Amino acid sequence: METNTSRKGNPLWNTLASIKLAVFLFITLAVTSIIGTLIPQGEADQFYLERYGQDLFKIISTLRLNDTYHAWWFVSLLLLFSLNLVVCTINRFPVTLRIFKRDSLSCGPDYLSRLQLKKEWVLKDKEADLDPILNSFKNAAGIPKERDTGDRRLYLVEKGKWSYWGVYGLHSSIIIIFIGALVGLFWGFKGYVELFEGETTDHVINRSTFEDIPLGFDVRCDKFAVDFYDNGAPKRYVSDLTILENGKEVLHKSIMVNSPLTYKGVTFYQASYNSIPEVNLHIIASNGRQGSLTVPAMERVAWPEGRLSVGIIQYLPSIHGEPAAQVWAASPNGEADTVWLLKGHERELSLGGNTYKISLVDAKNRYMTGLQVKKDPGVWIVWLGCTALILGFIVVFWVAHSRIWLWIGQKNGKMTVLLAGQANKNQLAFEKDFTKIREAVERAIGDKA
């Protein structure tokens, strides 16, 4: 492409402005993107060591191929790509401006008769009435601009001149998308939180740094439910969420996959769930104490009155239709034992000089909902960029700049009417339009020619 003459000498500028660099970057980005799809991303070091061995692991960790798309060199490629786009745009701007400002009414008959689409009529009568010809041209082509230089007149119907700017819309859309992504990166966050039914939180956890992110309000999970189809596939995950400000309920929504909840720019997405079994135990100790304990899996629950702490080692939802659990129990002096309990069958256990009668009263699954939590103030900029991308593309490839001229004047001493047209794309459609206008003008000229 033409380059701006004033900057022609600067080789760095010329490289940055070159389409060669653009194509090179397209290819490099495409090829390096492939790497990230072949090597699993975001695994622990150990994974790469085992899978690829010591030598390849060194390469992977040096080039950060375990997180290719955020590696310094990949981000640099993206930056260079943006720079290339911006410089290309600046460089081409004066050229486009010149094309845009070009005066299409300064064309003479010589230029027009060299165009591919044209028709010339030589009128028999020098003093013929030209108004009907002009009117039929206006009716067929539209309202023209005109330039009258006494004995010769030029009319021009021009459409889609603005389409030269489409390529700038298209290219800046990529930059707009990048800006939107950066805004999200700097002023947003990606977090997650897991909430039991009934649990409330005022913060979530950052997905990459695992740090707490305060929300500035509370969110509570009232209920979680999962439905299944007859074939066992999941049908619906639903979490009933309540937003609280200073303990007051302000918003309530049941969220599902594809139907999140947004409050103050923070969006909660249904992402996963977990169910944790919870067992109710009844224990009678030989010291006369008795108690009811609720023991969730993987937690150690203390019962000081009975000088005992208990935990669940294994849980089976159904043995002959009844729940069963392997319970671990320990006395304060460190003595411990395990026992299998089946609902409806009492068992005895001796620990620290006491005897305990333990029975499993009830067991159920306690649901925990897994939420992705996101704040992204840049997402609207990204959507704006996407819209600009599509509209820009349509303008670049389908909106034509078309010009149709009607020149009337003396040529070689004879009164001449010259119709000519030119379009920079969609030739076929333009030829059809031109033919219609030509026929209209021809009818108006009739036997005057």
Minimum distance from residue 67 beta carbon to another protein (Å)? 9
162 binds another protein (CB under 8 A): no
CA angle 200, 203, 208 (to 5 degrees): 130
256 binds another protein (CB under 8 A): yes
Q: List the one residue out of 267, 312, 310, 265 whose CA is nearest residue 285.
A: 310
Task: Round the CA-based radius of gyration of the chain to a whole number and report it.
Answer: 39
Cα(449)–Cα(332) distance, integer angstroms? 119
22 binds another protein (CB under 8 A): yes
Using DSSP, how many helices (H) and how many strands (E) does the chain show? 9, 19
Query: Do 140 and 437 contact (CB within 8 A), yes or no?
Result: yes
Task: Give the residue among 273, 234, 271 at the shortest CA–CA distance from 366.
Answer: 273
Q: Which stretch binds another protein (CB under 8 A): 21-29, 101-109, 246-254, 319-327?
A: 21-29
37 is a contact residue toward another protein (CB under 8 A): yes
Q: Cβ neighbours of residue 46 under 8 Å, at least 6 residues apart?
A: none
Contact 325, 363 (CB under 8 A): yes
**Nearest C-alpha neighbor of 240 from the set 250, 227, 254:** 254
Which residues sit opposite 359 in a β-bridge? 282
Q: Is residue 69 a contact residue for another protein (CB under 8 A)?
A: yes
Cβ atoms 125, 448 nearer than 8 A: yes
182 binds another protein (CB under 8 A): no
Task: Determine, following the binding rule CB under 8 A, whether residue 258 of this chain makes contact with another protein.
Answer: yes
Residue 362, SS3? strand
Q: Does 4 bind another protein (CB under 8 A)?
A: no
Which span sits near another protein by CB under 8 A: 29-37, 104-112, 124-132, 412-420? 29-37
Provide the sign of the torsion angle of the four alpha carbons 178, 182, 183, 188, taken in this order. positive
Between 134 and 204, CB nearer to another protein: 204
Give the total of residues touching another protein (CB under 8 A): 47
Does residue 84 contact residue 25 with C-beta atoms inside 8 Å? Answer: yes
Least distance (Å) from another protein to the CB of residue 46? 19
Options 17-25, 148-156, 198-206, 320-328: segment touching another protein (CB under 8 A): 17-25
Region near another protein per CB under 8 A, out of 54-62, 133-141, 326-334, 376-384: 376-384
In the complex, what is the shortest distance from the CB of residue 230 to another protein, in angstroms, rounded to a whole number?
A: 8
Q: Name the minimum Å distance from CB 233 to another protein.
A: 6
Q: Which is nearer to another protein, 123 or 175 (CB)?
A: 175
Nearest-angstrom CA–CA distance, 175 and 392: 13
- Ramachandran angles phi, psi of 126, nearest 5°: -65, -30
Q: Does 54 bind another protein (CB under 8 A)?
A: no
User: Should residue 376 be labelled a site residue for another protein when binding is judged by CB under 8 A?
Assistant: yes
Among left, alpha and beta (phi > 0; psi -120 to 50; other), residue 64 is left
Name residue 227's beta-bridge partners: 236
Q: Is 72 in the site for another protein (CB under 8 A)?
A: no
Tokens of 223: 């209920």
29 binds another protein (CB under 8 A): yes
Binding mask 261-280 for another protein (x = CB under 8 A): ------x-xxx---------
Q: Which residue, 109 or 184, is less far from another protein as judged by CB?
A: 184
95 binds another protein (CB under 8 A): no
Is 135 among the residues that bind another protein (CB under 8 A)?
no
What mask, x for binding another protein by CB under 8 A, covers residues 216 to 255? -------------x-x-xxxxx------------------
Does residue number 386 form part of the binding site for another protein (CB under 8 A)?
yes
Those residues whose C-beta lies under 8 Å from the C-beta of residue 183, and which sit 6 or more positions away, are: 377, 378, 381
**Residues lying near another protein in the complex (CB under 8 A):** 1, 19, 22-23, 26-27, 29-30, 33-34, 36-38, 41, 68-69, 181, 190, 229, 231, 233-237, 256-260, 267, 269-271, 372-374, 376, 379, 382-383, 386, 389-390, 393-394, 397
